[in-house]
Every structure is written in structure tokens, then in C-alpha cells.
Amino acid sequence: MQDRENDAMNTQRRLCAVLLVLVLNAACSSSADDFDTALHEAEVLAWRESRRASLMAPTGFLNLAGLFWLEKESSTFGSSPDNDLVFPPAADAHAGDFHLTREGVVMVPRTGVAVYSEDEAVTEMLIADDTTDNPVMITHASLAWTVIKRDGRYAVRLRDFEHPALASFPDLTYFPIDPSWKLEATLERYEQPQRVSVSTVIEGLGWNPDSPGVAVFEKDGDTHRLEAYSSGERLFFVFGDRTNGRETYPAGRFLYAAMPGEDGRLVLDFNRAYSPPCAFNDFSTCPVASPRNRLPIRIRAGELFDRDAYVGTVVGN
């Protein structure tokens, strides 16, 4: 685990260096008139580098190898096909059991099975889920898993640090960088933040984020509105447009923006719009663009959908 943490830190340092080089090149090669455009391009290119690195990181989405919803009080897990939850071949044949309790998910490994939490051997453990302050990651051979909680339901999310997708993943593809899609917007705040309902790619599973209001922007003389979701110090958008299905991911794309100040002003840079994790595998619980956030225009900016980049299902292979 320490090696993976060091790799992640080194990746961050490389990305910072890339951003610095791109910005310096933009400054040296541009006049005052076009510096903003060159700087914007450099920033978007650096963001693209960080986007790929994030996907391929140990906690990214390319190494996902399974998502198991816990429906029974007790479920066995391991690589043998007679388990309730069948893990990839790297796992012991009969690795242990998961138990649903009032407190959450308790894991009990079988005697002799090497299972760790933060490099400490585990015999029995309540796996704090991803909605808690300190979620737990369990490791076993090349595998790791966490517990996620969605809409009152628990699932085990499985990773494989030797996932073949990490070696064969193609370059991400994008529309050309277009500064005209970096737009000023205004957040029209609700009197009080509202809890809203958003569908996900998993049938019957909803997502209920808090929305502080609606971002209003203009493009080519028309006014458009996007419902914003609170995400820490940022706003998060799940939006659809008329590129979905042919050029971009059918269920919509994601976009972040800095939280506005008192004046409500913010910037929506659609050059940083990107595909959700479910564009790459079956093991994500992505929200999809609601009818409220489906724009009647073609946003030819940001990440394209590449079906060759789909990782698919590897459990049991």
C-alpha cells in the first residue's frame, strides 16, 4: 500500500510539473492579446493529464473488478464458483464471509486467509463504508475492496491492482479545445438548499444530492439552466445535450465548477466536461442527467465517448 501511495504522490508531482511547463510555454509564445487563450489551452491540457492519471490511480475507476450488492444476512466470498460473491482468480477459493448487521458490513476471513487493513492482518472487522469519515479498504493478494452505501443499501466494490485495463487503456479523446465554451454563469440560489432526486444507472437505485440552486448561462443568444449539486467547496453538474449517444456518453457527462461568492457568479468550462465512471465498466453507480439538466443544444466540447475504452466485466475470467 505504501508503494501505491508513493506512486500517487509522484503522479501528482509530475502533473504539477506538466502544468507549470504548459503555462510557461503559453506565456513565452503568446502576445498579450492571445495570452488568455493560450493559458486556457494549457490549463485544459493539464486537466486532461490529471483526468487520465485519476482514472488509472489505485483509487481510480479502471481497476474496478466487481460490484456486489449484499442482499442476504450472510454471503460467502472467494474465487470458487460456489461462493455467493465470486471474486477473480487472484482471491483464495473460499476467502470468508460478509455479514449485514445494524452497524454495517462485518467481514470474517476464513482461517489462514491473508486479508489486511492498512497492512495489518484482519481476523474480523466492521468495514466502515464510503459515507463515513474513515472508510476502510481491505487488501488481499492483488485485490482490494471497500463497502459503499447507496440509498440505504450496501455493496462490496472490488478492485484489482493488476487489472489488464491498466496496461491497455487507450488515450482519452476530446473535442478540440474551444474557449467559446468557457462560459460565465450565475447561480440563482433557492431560498434554502433543496434535496433533489436523481436517477442512476442502476435500476431502482436513486441519488439524492442537495442542490443550492440553478446555474443560468447564455450561449448564442439563448438562455440555458442547469441544476447544480453541492460537492464540498465546488458545484457538481450532471448534464445531457444533443451530442449524447453518438459523440458523448449516452447518459450524460459530469462537470465541476468553483463555488461562487456572494454575487453568484461562476464559470462553466465545458472543455472540462467528462464521461462518468460507468462509461468504462459495469461497477459504478453513476447518476444520469435528469430531464431538468438535458440541454437542447450540442455542446461540442470536453470528453468524447470511446467504446474501445470500455473495460467491461472481468470477474470470474
Question: What CA–CA distance (Å, rounded) separates 25 from 87?
Answer: 48
Residue 34, pLDDT above cutoff 90? no
The residue whose grid cell reads 435500476 is 203
36 pLDDT exceeds 90?
no
pLDDT band at 35 (very low <50, low <70, confident <90, very high): low
Three cell numbers, residue 187: 447561480
| pLDDT, mean of residues 59-71 | 94
Question: CA 80 to CA 95: how far, in whole Å?
Answer: 9
Residues 236-254 pLDDT 10s: 999 999 999 999 999 999 9
255 to 22, 231, 265, 300, 314: CA distances (angstroms)? 23, 11, 16, 14, 29
CB 177 within 8 A of CB 40: yes
Output the pLDDT for position 313.
Answer: 59
Task: Give the separation between CA 88 and CA 106, rounded to whole angstroms.
Answer: 21
Q: Is the pLDDT of residue 1 over 70?
A: no
Q: pLDDT tens-digit profile of 9-31? A: 444 455 555 445 444 454 444 44
At 109, list the grid cell: 476471513
Task: Give helix 2-29 / helix 35-56 axis angle, nearest 10°.
Answer: 170
Beta bridge partners of 155: 69, 148
Mean pLDDT computed over 39-49: 96
For the entire predicted model, the pTM comes to: 0.85
CA dihedral 190, 192, 194, 195 (to 10 degrees): 160
**CA-atom Rg of the chain in angstroms:** 22
Mean confidence (pLDDT) of the chain: 89
Reported as a pLDDT band with limits 50, 70 and 90, residue 208 is: very high
Q: Give CA separation, 254 vs 226, 240, 317, in Å.
A: 12, 9, 31
Which helix (H) or strand (E) segment is 223 a member of? strand 222-231
pLDDT at residue 312, rounded to an integer:
63
> From start to end of 29-95, where are the E strands?
64-69, 74-78, 85-86
DSSP states of 88-126: -TTS-TT-EEEEE-SSSEEEEEPTT---EETTEE-SSEE
Q: Where are the chain's structural domains?
A: 1-58, 66-167, 170-317
In the sheet with 222-231, reading across from the earlier edge strand, the strands are 253-258, 234-239, 222-231, 210-219, 182-195, 265-269
What are the contacts of 34-39 at 24+ separation with CB within 8 A? Answer: 36/179, 37/179
User: Of 103, 241, 104, 102, which Cα lies nearest the Cα of 175?
Assistant: 241
CB of 214 closer than 8 Å to CB of 240: no
- For the domain covering 66-167, report its CATH number: 2.60.200.20
